[in-house]
Amino acid sequence: MQNYKTTQRSEYDEAWKSLIEAFTADFFDFYFPALYNRIDFTQPVEHKDKELQKIFSKSYHTHKVADKLIVVTLKNGKKSILYIHIEVQGTRKKDFAERMLHYYTRIKDRYNHDILSVALLTDGSNKNINNVYQFKFEEFEYKFTFPYKKITDFKDQGELLLTLQNPFALVTYSLLEWHTCNKEQQKKLDLKTRLTILLLEKGFSEEYIRVLFNFIDWVIKLPIDIDKKFENTVLNYQEGKKMAYVNTFERLHGAEWMMKGEVKGEKKVLLRQLKLKFFLSEHDEDLVQNCNDTSKIEEASDYFAMGKNKEEILEVFRI
């Protein structure tokens, strides 16, 4: 059964997968231009995410990573399999290169084909990693090297990133700015508002905006009461500009965004998890539904993740 943290990891995974599927060529053009120049993007790209689930163990999927396995055609006419590995904040370890080798060999065993592996580090660290795994014993030697990119490689290019049409320029800018917000909710609110308005002003297609907004919405999570301020600010801006999107949030998130009383964010996740693990009476469910104190919702979510029983979790809402 999924717990709260696993759900967060799944959301992260899906957010990146949606981006890469929608803008595959842009991903390589922005982060790995040398590889981009070798790929023929006029040919179809195959996405093989289901294959990854078969190749990797269940324990692997508990790590804070997002992965894509795609098949492309190179400009020389040959097919190539690309493995994209994305690490989220706090998961860097000394065995990074060894883990990348492990992923490489598992995929190669599956396909009996050369694999091109790349890694993107999305935390806020400026430190480089060891991207070489090497083993040598007397005459025997093995060496595995892979290219990687850090979002902090772009930290001094903020103004330039906002002018570029490549969607991953805005993705990178969003992550860089988010790392500077720490836990200051007002900064997060200002950033999310600014990025959303920027999306609307650039004149992108609705689908383009939807995919990018969903990513921004995942990165910059706000408490329910503050998120409502964000929603109102953007809708008022939209009305003032007489923009074409009559109801931005309904289009981006679906009608549930605007439904009165719709449970959002951590409250929605918590209720789902409680129902899966425990029997909830109407009174129990009302305790959670009627709570608008984000600190209590967060505390109850933490209790659930720690394996507390139902009464200990619900007691949070009775205080």
How far is it, in rounded angstroms, from Cα 110 to Cα 302?
A: 39
Token pair recorded at residue 187 = 């900064």
What sections of the chain are H helices per DSSP? 4-22, 24-31, 33-36, 49-55, 96-111, 158-163, 167-181, 185-201, 206-219, 224-241, 248-253, 265-277, 282-289, 294-305, 310-318
Per-residue pLDDT, 102: 86
Tokens of 152: 């902090």
The structural domains of the chain, with segments of one domain joined by +, span 4-154, 158-258, 265-318
Exposure of 238 in the CB half-sphere (CA atoms within 13 A): 17
| 273 three-class SS | helix
Quote the CA–CA distance of 278 and 269 in Å, as a whole number. Answer: 14
pLDDT at 276: 73
The 8-class DSSP code of residue 48 comes to: -
Please name which of 316, 317, 318, 309 lies closest in space to residue 277, comparing C-alpha atoms: 309
Joined together, the tokens standing for residue 48 give 């093989």
pLDDT block averages, 10 residues each, the chain of length 319? 46 76 93 94 87 64 66 90 71 78 87 87 86 90 92 92 92 92 90 89 78 85 85 79 51 43 63 79 83 80 82 86
Residue 1 has a pLDDT of 40
pLDDT value of residue 65: 57
| Cβ atoms of residues 15 and 218 within 8 Å | yes
* Burial zone of 137 (CB within 10 Å; 0-12 exposed, 13-18 middle, 19+ buried): exposed
* CA gap 201, 19 in Å, rounded: 20
Q: Specify which residues 83 forms β-bridges with.
A: 69, 117
Three-state DSSP state, 70: strand
Calpha distance 301→286 (Å, rounded): 16
Q: What's the confidence (pLDDT) of residue 247?
A: 43
| Whole-number pLDDT of residue 88 | 58
DSSP lists the bridge partners of residue 68 as 84
pLDDT at 148: 93
Angle between helices 185-201 and 206-219 (to 10 degrees): 170
CA angle 136, 140, 143 (to 5 degrees): 55
Is this prediction's pTM over 0.85? no
